[in-house]
Every structure is written in structure tokens, then in C-alpha cells.
Amino acid sequence: MKKYNVGLVGVGAVGAEMIKVLRERQFPCGKVQVFASRERDEVIDGETYHVLKADEGSFAGFDIVLFAGKTDVALQLKDAVVKAGAKMIDNSRAFRQDPDVPLVVPQVNAEDLDWNKGVIANPNCTTAIMLEAVAPLHKAKGLKRLIASTYQAASGAGAPGLAELEAQIREYAEGRPLTVSAFQHQLTYNLIPHIDKFDQTNWYTLEELKMRNEARKMLHLPDLRLSCTCVRVPIARAHSESLNLEFENPITPDEAREILSKAEGVRVVDDPLNNVYPMPLDATGKYDVLAGRIRSDISRDDGKGLEMFVSGDQLLRGAALNAVEIAEHLVKRGLV
């Protein structure tokens, strides 16, 4: 089997997950080299890597370069990766709305990889989790409108967010004042309906607008009516979303369960009488998006509305796993 030299730029939580997923899925790696802002040794998933400083001359000889760092780093190094002949798979927001860059979840729109020009973008984690469950239903019934409310884990704000939640739990138990710096307010025993900056023209947050704009691009529905409210909640890992869906054609809950039971990347978890439904605790560390609480929208009388609840690990399903699956599909489609 042909081996592919893989670079990784960024050694935070998502970068570490990418290394782990490459191993777990036995991606045919030749050389694996980690890059960051400075040279050092770093233990990732139990193995010590000699991390090199990333610069414009770093990428000769690589086939695929995964980016798990900041937006400005991706923008700075993009041309160097493409010039070196490698495929750049970027997890930042740098290129998601670039019309020359495919924005891909392979289970949703793998065909868009065929027109890549050297760069492929990973969507926002909330968008990826949502579309894993929504896209199969759209393909069967034609999505017309979507209303989402998200419940996003502290680790979605990176290592500082998770560390702050853990520190606040300890401080609260010890009766000490709570440290507040990573979030706008105390997160422990609270939730915060504010993720990213507000767009002062419409008062949606950028996180909420990302979900609309990215879903439109990936589903090839430029006029899709989509609105959402994104909320930070005091859990460690895995995002959840409450979805209200309107379709062009009638759909029953049983039809939805049947469609989702056959969808790659989705696991139906829907037995409410036995207290079985998606929860972030059960989604943590899992590849699949969990989908449940599937029911007809009782505010409608045309049979075209559906309600469901989904949970997915934002570091895996929403980021690292998706990037590695893009690499797998590039290989499968002979694009690298």
C-alpha cells in the first residue's frame, strides 16, 4: 500500500486528537511530522514527537498537511503548502467561505473534494455535528427550514475553557471566589447564550451565523432558511443540539429513524420510555453523532415537520475525525 507523508500544524487539543485518529484508523502514513510556533519535544498520545517550527519552507515532500492551529497561521502558510504540492486540510475558519475552497464533511458532500485546488476546509464543529444527522434526511425529503439551539461544551473554547470550568468547580466546592476569564461569565451552575462576537447588524453571534452560512454552502442550498441560538453549558466535552426541521415532503418519525439508521456517521439512540436518548456523556470519545428524541412537530398539521436531538464529540466528530476522513477520501478518490 502506498504511504503518504503527513504534516500536522498545531499541537493543541484538536491536533492531539488528529494524531490519535490517524493511528486508530490506520491511515497509511509514511513520515509524520508535527509543526508548531517553536521547536520542542512534545508527548502526543503517549509518543514523543520532535516538533519543528512551521515556516514557508517546511512542507516539501509532504502529501497532506493537517492544520489544527489558528486562523492567521493557516492564512500565512497556505501558499507554501500548495506550492509544495501537498493537500492542506484546515480546521480554522480561514477558508470556509472562500468560493475556491471546498467545505467538506465526507458523509455530506464528499463530491466537493473533486474540485479542490489544494486546500480543503473543515466546517465549524457545531455545523459538522448537525449536518451528519440532517444531510441524510435532506437527501430523502428536501430540507426547507431549520431552527437549531446548541448546548456547547466548555472545551469547545479550547484548553482554557475546560481548565476554567474545572477550576470553578473546585473553587465553588471550597467556597472560594470563582475565576472568570475564558468566558464572559461564571459557567459553573450557569449557562451562557453567547459564543463568539455579536454581529451588530442582526444581533446573532458569529458562531450562529457560521452554522447558517456553512450549512448553505455544504448542502448547496444558498437560500436555506436557518436560524440558531448557540449556548455554552457547563460540561466538559461533546456538543448537543436541538433541531426543528421543515421539509419539502412529509416525513414520519419512523421514516426518519429508518433513514438515519442507514446513515454513515450517525447512531440512532431513541428509546425514551427506557430513558435512552442522546447525551453528551455518551457521545464523548465516540465517532458517531447520536440522534434521538425523534418526533413530529406538533405545531404543524402538514406532516412536514420533525424534531430531534443530537449529541456529538466536537473534538472528534466535529474536528479531528472529520479532517482525517477528508484525507481518507482524498486517497480513495485518487486526489493525492
- Same domain for 152 and 287, yes or no, is yes
How many whole angstroms separate alpha carbon 120 and alpha carbon 102?
A: 5
Residues 112, 55, single domain; the answer is yes
Catalytic residue, candidates 125, 138, 230, 329: 125
pLDDT score recorded for residue 68: 96
Does 194 participate in catalysis according to the annotation? no
Q: What are phi and psi of 248, to 5 degrees?
A: -70, -30
Burial class of residue 244 in the structure, from the number of CB atoms within 10 Å of its CB (0-12 exposed, 13-18 middle, 19+ buried)? middle
Residue 208 has pLDDT above 90, yes or no: yes
Average pLDDT over residues 211-218: 98
Q: Judge whether 239 counts as a catalytic residue.
A: yes
Amino acid at 253: P
pLDDT for 253-293, tens place per residue? Answer: 999 999 999 999 999 999 999 999 999 999 999 999 999 99
Q: Concatenated DSSP letters for 27-40?
A: --EEEEEEEESS-E
Contact by Cβ (8 Å): 330, 32: no
Q: Which of 228, 230, 239, 329 is catalytic?
A: 239
pTM above 0.85, yes or no: yes
∠ CA 108-151-121, nearest 5°, is 35
CA geometry: angle at 225 spanning 220 and 230, to 5°? Answer: 105
Same domain, 47 and 192: no
Residues 239 and 265 in one domain: yes
* Whether residue 209 is found in the same domain as residue 308: yes
Domain count, the chain: 2
228-238 confidence digits (pLDDT tens): 999 999 999 99
Residues 114 and 156 in one domain: no
Per-residue confidence (pLDDT) for residue 159, from 0 to 100: 87
**CATH number for the domain that contains residue 286:** 3.30.360.10
Q: What is the CA radius of gyration of the chain?
A: 20
Condensed to tens digits (0 to 9), the pLDDT of residues 50-61 reads: 999 999 999 999
pLDDT at residue 6 above 90? Answer: yes
Burial of 200 (0-12, 13-18, 19+ CB in 10 A): exposed
Place of cell 464543529: 125
Task: Give percent above pLDDT 70 in the chain.
Answer: 100
In angstroms, the CA 304 to CA 290 distance is 22
Strand order in the sheet with 289-296: 225-232, 143-152, 239-247, 305-312, 289-296, 266-268
Q: Are residues 294 and 183 in the same domain?
A: yes
Identify whether residues 142 and 278 lie together within a single domain. Answer: yes
Mean pLDDT value across residues 183-204: 98
Residue 309 φ then ψ, to 5°: -125, 135
Same domain, 283 and 145: yes
Q: What is the DSSP string of 187-250?
A: -TT--BS--S-B-TTT--BHHHHHHHHHHHHHHT-TT-EEEEEEEE-S-SS-EEEEEEEEESS-
Q: Does 90 lie in the same domain as 235?
A: no
Q: In CATH, what number is assigned to the domain containing residue 62?
A: 3.40.50.720
| Domain co-membership, 146 together with 266 | yes
* pLDDT score for 12: 87
74 shares a domain with 208: no
Q: For residue range 88-145, what is the model confidence (pLDDT) as tens digits?
A: 999 999 999 999 999 999 999 999 999 999 999 999 999 999 999 999 999 999 999 9
Type of residue at 142:
G
Domain that holds residue 43: 4-123+319-332
